[in-house]
Structure 1
């Protein structure tokens, strides 16, 4: 069965994701930075509002890349532990060294932390910033990592279909391959058919408007598309319907 994971930036996004038929949520903050660690308060309110589909908590302390100091790593381990204690069913993370090789010591520690809570461990698109994908994914399998979020080492999934197909065929029975970066209603069906992946990750977003984003001489707008990002129910519904049809074929 093909699953849809929705990248959610707020309590409302999580509610929309469940209501429109998503299978899983990746909960983040600061989507405009590529996603940072959400607060446990956000997670608490999401669960209190009846969201029951699995929630994966992003653990990322800052924007930029994924080569972290020891203090940043300690922050990430603590944040992961608290998210799991508050009901997250998995942690999304990625560690790299300065040479863009995976930091295996930190990665193993985070995977083992997830195991201690019987939770999923998800290595995110830091995977796409490193080389030797087959070697890396083999080592992640050996460490017991649950899932890899990847665009196939390209800027988006449309460009990464060749590697995504290879990874799914060669390793998909030992680790979950989650295709993400640029998934939309326009390409979701073709990506699934070209690669054989059984999981896709998308924001399915639209831009909300807040009239107080801009004043007379001040603006907090980070894009001309709108004032903040939120899940678009109509697009997500359409994506869910496409996947439902594919599952029935």
Structure 2
């Protein structure tokens, strides 16, 4: 899409950096950057939904790409799924792992708690592949109980802003979740992550930080394509190399 150049690479940080990627330019950035893993998705402006299998294939075939963890979310909106949606999630989990993904990112809520039936079925479908529980976690009224539930089930990590829209507004709560997890499950900070916020996030003890590092490319529409895509001046999001580089540099510099 546009040329990519990077500064000389530094040593890898012990705190993992996960980059959310929603297009092929983002794949190029992730491969060049040296991120620890990517979360592959589509439509980040809607919170992210399941990407196409062709995009998963492109990701795992990209030279130098870090481990690919695929978001499996069948639609925008809330996280309570009916049986047909659950079946779609399970099939997508199987499909993306057969395509070569390293892990999957899922979430489900039932009666204001973790949808344990869904999570158990995803874990069974995923086999040895790691499973991340996404920010559906932040909609739960008892996050401590949710950490205990997910750790006991065998989920590898939780992506969370500690219940806030932006993780910057919930740093003490984030630190408390790390304490509750006690190394049994990783607490990965995400949601409104900025370069200036990195030192404070690292002080909470999180072992991983997640960011999308987005920028907006102007891209006018001559016709309306739906309520979220009206005609007129607008744009589309993609990964910003400079921001992604600065985020990773800040994580590494702190160590």
Q: TM-score, normalised by structure 2?
A: 0.89
Report the 3-state secondary structure (helix = DSSP H, G, I; strand = E; otherwise coil) of the residue aligned with 2:164.
coil
Aligned position for 2:214: 205
1:27-42 to structure 2, matched below 5 A, reads: 27-42=40-55
For the pair 1:170 / 2:180, whether they are aligned, the reply is: yes
1:173-192 to structure 2, matched below 5 A, reads: 173-192=183-202
Shift of 1:222: 4.5
Question: Which whole-Å CA distance do the structure 1 matches of 2:201 and 2:248 have between them?
Answer: 14
Aligned position for 1:103: 115
1:73-112 to structure 2, matched below 5 A, reads: 73-97=86-110, 99-112=111-124
8 Å CA contact 2:159, 2:187 repeated in 1:
yes
Shift of 1:47: 2.3
Aligned position for 1:72: 85
Aligned position for 1:242: 250
For the pair 1:141 / 2:154, whether they are aligned, the reply is: no
Question: Which whole-Å CA distance do the structure 2 matches of 1:179 and 1:152 have between them?
Answer: 8
Question: Which whole-Å CA distance do the structure 2 matches of 1:84 and 1:173 have between them?
Answer: 26
RMSD (Å), alpha carbons: 1.7
Question: Which whole-Å CA distance do the structure 2 matches of 1:68 and 1:111 have between them?
Answer: 17
User: Structure 1 regions of 5+ residues with no counterpart?
Assistant: none
Runs of 4 or more, structure 1, over 3 Å off, are 219-226
Question: Which whole-Å CA distance do the structure 1 matches of 2:194 and 2:31 have between them?
Answer: 18
Q: Structure 1, residues 44-79: CA drift from partner, whole Å, max 9, x if none?
A: 112222143111100111110001110000000000
Shift of 1:101: 1.8
